[in-house]
Amino acid sequence: MVEGQSALSRQEGMPVLSEDLLRRMDVPGPRYTSYPTADRFVEAFGPDQYVQALTQRATGGVAGAGGPLSLYLHIPFCESVCYYCACNKIVTRDHGRAEAYLAALTHELDLVTNVIGREQPVSQLHFGGGTPTFLSDAELSGLMATLRSRVQLLPKGEYSIEIDPRTVTHDRLAHLAELGFNRLSFGVQDFDADVQKAVHRIQPAEQVHALMASARSLGFDSINVDLIYGLPKQTPESFQRTVSEVARLRPDRIALYGYAHLPARFKPQRRIPIEILPTGGDRIGMLSQAIAGFIAHGYQYIGMDHFALPEDPLAQAKRQGRLHRNFQGYSTQPDCDLVALGVSAISRVGPTYSQNAKTLDDYYDALRRGGLPVVRGLALSRDDLVRRAVIMSIMCHGRLSYESVALAHLIDVRSYFAAEIESLQEHADAGLLKLDQDGFELTSLGWYFVRYIAMVFDKYVRVDRARERFSRVI
């Protein structure tokens, strides 16, 4: 039995996460911010196909057209490199590079709104990176003014920005509030000094506590904290101290990610010697302890790696069956088209995905040629759409109604997914779900392995022998 399991057992109605079960489920797999996943995008889908998707939205040619948009802006710049990072980023201390990038973002936004029209209603806005707060206050003001001149930010929308605590002060947070941001996400990762040194990210707990107090005083609707387990120099004991420190902070939401060591893909990770990474057993101990700790402090488990206080809209959405999932993770916003701007950004419009160029030079070159900077994407097949609906139902609601899928997609579900349904019996026997003739529903234990169960319906993963490009489920 893993350390921390007894703490879980003491929580009323909580499942027992045994070491054997955690080990069996610890396999590589997608996070399902989309289906099919981005590794399935093809270069045959380019700017022309993206324009076609945008045109269909503008003319009402696809289901859901005309509804509010979700808007994502990728700000790739960081002043220093964090060795664990797998994001698309550009490490530089030259803040002058932001000027050209902001001009390019504006150009891309104009190309998009020239097709779909200006004044599009937007109910969700997210600035990600990189480090969005690499931009100065004046640059952030100018960018928000540009957005407001092209789209309509709805009064009750969710407007969030990722924060590196080392780059902001109380005054900077106040400026973000004035610009209309109502949600913050602080990148904490770990509070242990040895771990911070090992990943090249030093930020004292006192600094984060002061910023959290500032954010509370400024009235932000929701504050998230990101944590990572499995980092170099971490131990179950040190991470338990971080969990306790975060509980003291009392953020509205917590995102708890497992570190994926993929140095062949992400160059900064080559600076992390493999011998200072925690063992698989210690990773499992950290996860088990963290789950027990957050639940003991009153957080509710949302799904996969997210926790929220009971009064947070994310927890309310889960209880009411209104949870959704997109490229930013779990969301309370209705399923809608996502227009993503910036280098490497991924859009979802109708039954299509499209991704921008991954390097700054290629991104700029495409825009200079007068076209959108899309370099690959995917037009979903009928089978993709059916499986996406099934996987998102599992990921967001923890259940699947065969009748609902049959009515929406005009298929005989039990025949269409005969092999998948048969394989679910193993998960039912393990206590992860309850299966009957009408569908299935995850148990409280099954929610902790929702990615693993969703993978049953992923036809690409089922035949793919190269899963190691994905992070591990545990």
136 and 363 in contact (C-beta within 8 Å)?
no
> Does the pLDDT of residue 9 top 70, yes or no?
no
- Tokens coding 428: 């039912």
- pLDDT tens figures, 242-277: 999 999 999 999 999 989 898 988 899 999 999 999
Residue 10 has pLDDT above 50, yes or no: no
Give the CA count within 13 Å in the CB-facing half-sphere of 120.
28
Q: Are 239 and 324 contained in the same domain? A: yes
Measuring CA to CA, which residue among 302, 236, 232 is closest to residue 268? Answer: 232
- Does a structural domain hold residue 199? yes
Residue 451 binned pLDDT confidence (cut-offs 50, 70, 90)? confident
Instruction: State whether 94 and 228 are in the same domain.
Output: yes
Residues 203 and 327 in one domain: yes
Query: Does residue 466 carry a pLDDT above 80?
Result: no
> Quick one: pLDDT band at residue 15, thresholds 50, 70, 90?
low
Q: CATH code at 52?
A: 3.80.30.20
Average pLDDT over residues 409-438: 95
165 belongs to a structural domain? yes
Q: What is the mean pLDDT of residues 396-415?
A: 94
Cis peptide before 180 (omega within 30 of 0): no
pLDDT, mean of residues 405-410: 95
* Residues 390, 253 share a domain: no
Domain termination residue (choose one: 340, 368, 394): 340
Bridge partners for 77 per DSSP: 90
Domain ends where: 316, 340, 364?
340
**What's the CATH number where 431 sits?**
1.10.10.920
Give the chain as a 3 state SS string.
CCCCHHHHHHCCCCCCCCHHHHHHHCCECCCCCCCCCHHHCECCCCHHHHHHHHHHHHCCCCCCCCCCEEEEEEECEECCCCCCCCCCCEECCCCCHHHHHHHHHHHHHHHHHHHHCCCEEEEEEEEEECCHHHCCHHHHHHHHHHHHHHEEEEEEEEEEEEECHHHCCHHHHHHHHHHCCCEEEEEEECCCHHHHHHHCCCCCHHHHHHHHHHHHHHCCCEEEEEEEECCCCCCHHHHHHHHHHHHHHCCCEEEEEECCCCCCCCHHHHHCCHHHCCCHHHHHHHHHHHHHHHHHCCCEEEECCEEECCCCHHHHHHHCCCCEEECCEEECCCCCCEEEECCCCEEEECCEEEEECCCHHHHHHHHHCCCCCEEEEEECCHHHHHHHHHHHHHHHHCEEEHHHHHHHHCCCHHHHCHHHHHHHHHHHHCCCEEEECCEEEECCCHHHHHHHHHHHHCHHHHHCCCHHHCCECC
**Does 464 have pLDDT greater than 80?**
no
User: What band does 234 get if pLDDT is binned at 50, 70 and 90?
Assistant: very high
Token pair in block for residue 157: 């929308």
Residue 313 domain flag: yes
5: pLDDT strictly greater than 50:
no
Question: Residue 2's pLDDT is what?
Answer: 36
Pair (322, 441) in one structural domain: no
**105-118 mean pLDDT:** 97
**pLDDT, average across residues 173-184:** 98
Q: Does 4 score more than 60 pLDDT?
A: no
Mean pLDDT across the chain: 90
Task: Kindly calculate the radius of gyration of the chain based on its CA atoms and give it in whole angstroms.
Answer: 22
Tell whether 186 is covered by a domain.
yes
pLDDT digits (tens, 9 = 90+) for 362-379: 999 999 999 999 999 999
Question: 286 Cβ partners below 8 Å, 6+ apart?
Answer: 229, 230, 234, 236, 239, 240, 278
Amino acid 114: pLDDT = 96
User: Does 221 share its domain with 98?
Assistant: yes
Judgement on whether residues 53 and 21 belong to the same structural domain of the protein = no
Same structural domain for residues 321 and 277? yes
Read off the tokens for 353: 């995905």
**Token pair of 190, please?**
């770990």
Burial class (CB in 10 A: 0-12, 13-18, 19+), 100: exposed
Q: Are residues 230 and 171 in the same domain?
A: yes
Domain of residue 453, residue span:
5-11+17-27+381-469
Domain membership flag for residue 305: yes
- The answer to whether 85 and 31 have CB atoms below 8 angstroms apart is no
More confident residue, 20 or 416: 416
Mean pLDDT over 429-438 rounds to: 93
**Per-residue pLDDT, 429:** 92
Confidence of residue 63 (pLDDT cuts 50, 70, 90): low
* Domain match, 110 and 255 both: yes
Mean per-residue pLDDT, 94-119: 97
Question: How far apart (Å, rounded) are the C-alpha atoms in residues 15 and 206?
Answer: 35
- 359 falls within a domain: no
The answer, yes or no, to whether residue 24 has pLDDT greater than 80, is no
Query: Does the pLDDT of residue 160 top 70, yes or no?
Result: yes
Residue 312's Cβ-side half-sphere holds a number of Cα atoms within 13 Å equal to 27
Contact present, 457 and 413 (Cβ < 8 Å): no
Find the mean pLDDT for residues 39-43: 94
Indicate whether 329 belongs to any domain. Answer: yes
Extract the tokens encoding 23.
Answer: 């080990």
pLDDT band at 214, cuts 50/70/90?
very high
Preceding amide of 313 cis, omega within 30: no
Contact criterion met (CB below 8 Å) for 150 and 114 = no
Q: Count how many domains the chain has.
A: 2
Q: Which of 276, 309, 340 is at the close of a domain?
A: 340
Looking at the structure, do residues 100 and 173 belong to the same domain, yes or no?
yes
Residues 334 and 391 occupy one common structural domain: no
pLDDT digits (tens, 9 = 90+) for 78-99: 999 999 998 889 999 999 999 9
Residue 157 lies in a domain: yes
345 confidence band (pLDDT: 50, 70, 90): very high
pLDDT of residue 153: 97
